[in-house]
Amino acid sequence: MKRLQTCLWPILLLPMLAFGGHRMDMDSMVMNENPMTLPEGCQKIAGDQKITVHAGRKHAKKFPGVVFAYDQQSWDVDPCTRLTVHFVNDDDIRHQFMVHGLPEKTYPEGMFTIEVSGPGEETASFILPPYKKTYLVHCDIAQHTEHGMKAQIKVAGGDKDLASLPGLTKPVRPDRYPTVWNTQSVIFLVLALAGGLVLVWGGRWLFKAMSD
């Protein structure tokens, strides 16, 4: 069955390939779909992996101060894997699953994109390069990335973690919130004060002992 599927890929995808990996209708858009062409350095497709990604307001509610999010912020993928993304938009507005940093020889502008125009879903595949690297995934609608719709794909464990991933990593430019002193803060301050006094007193005692 798996062999049959592999043989059918080119036939099934012919119309798509005729448009250079782009397809678009009222409901969705896919750019740079690539289920067949191996990125430089890959000898063969190492395997198939499928992920389902949900996007929308409701997935952000578990993160305070975040408005839009995917249901997951990080995926691990092996090198040269053909990744099939089933992208489900749970909102009434557009959302995107846009990957950056891919090799430009295979992916124009280094991007792979699925955009779903409103409530609905779309599926598309692309082959990841062989190198250990972390790829940015985001929604490039104005201020969606900035308000939480950001994630990463780590190939071979990735070379880093990206900043500002909801619940996972710190922002490069974090917000500053009002400060409120609680009991613990006051206790720490008093203890620190006492520590400072002890240091002075101890220093004087030590100096005196050494002088004697």
Partner 1 sequence: MNVIRFFYLLGIAISLTLAWIFFPGPRTEAGARAPSTVKWVPSLDDTEEFCQFDHPEWRKAQTIEGVEIEEDPQCKPDNPYLVASVVKGTDRVTMPTLMKTRLAMDAVVKKDDRDGDGDPDVIHIKLEVAELNGSTPDGDFFIPGYRIAPGLTPGIWVFAPKMRGMATVDAVNLDANRMLRAPSPPIRVEQGDTVYLTLENSHYLPHTIHLHGVDHPYTRADGQGNDGVPVTSEKMLMPGQKRTYEIKPRQPGTMLYHCHVQTDKHMLMGLQGMFIVEENRPNNWLQTFNIGAGKVRHRSQANRKQFDQEYDLHYQSLDKERYQPIQAYNDPRLVAKGMNRDYNITDSNENFFLLNGEAFPYTLRDSLVVVEPEQRIRLRVANGHPHTLGLHFHGHKTTAISADGVPLDAPVTRDVHGLAPAQRLDLVLDTHDDGLHSFGEGAWLMHDHAEKSVTSDGLGPGGDIGLVVYRKYLDQNGFPKLQGMDPVPFFNRWFYQKQVPVWARSEEWAIFADAAPLPPNTIRVIISGVFLGLALGLLVALWRHWRKGQ
Among 93, 121, 131, 168, binds partner 1 (CB under 8 A): 93
Task: Give me the torsion for CA of 117, 121, 124, 126, rounded to 10°.
Answer: 80
Is residue 101 exposed (0-12), middle (13-18) or buried (19+ Cβ within 10 Å)? middle
Among 177, 181, 209, 212, binds partner 1 (CB under 8 A): 177
Of 75 and 112, the one with the shorter C-beta distance to partner 1 is: 112
For position 57 contacting partner 1 by CB under 8 A, the verdict is yes
**x/- track of binding to partner 1 for residues 127-166 (CB under 8 A):** -------------xxxxxxxx---------------xx--
Of 68 and 80, the one with the shorter C-beta distance to partner 1 is: 68
Of 9 and 63, the one with the shorter C-beta distance to partner 1 is: 63
Of 6 and 143, the one with the shorter C-beta distance to partner 1 is: 143
E-only strand ranges, 91-209:
95-99, 112-116, 120-127, 133-138, 150-155
Closest distance of CB 58 from partner 1, Å:
8
SS3 2: helix
SS3 39: coil
Cβ-based neighbour number of residue 134 at 10 Å: 18
Of 91 and 121, the one with the shorter C-beta distance to partner 1 is: 91
For position 40 contacting partner 1 by CB under 8 A, the verdict is no
Among 48, 71, 78, 91, binds partner 1 (CB under 8 A): 91
For position 68 contacting partner 1 by CB under 8 A, the verdict is yes
Nearest to 77 by CA among 111, 46, 108: 46
SS3 70: strand
For position 115 contacting partner 1 by CB under 8 A, the verdict is yes
Nearest to 148 by CA among 161, 135, 163, 160: 163
Instruction: Provide the β-strand partners of residue 23.
Output: 30
Q: For binding to partner 1 (CB under 8 A), which residues are involved?
A: 24-26, 29, 31, 56-57, 65, 67-68, 91-94, 98, 100, 109-111, 113, 115, 117-118, 140-147, 163-164, 171-175, 177
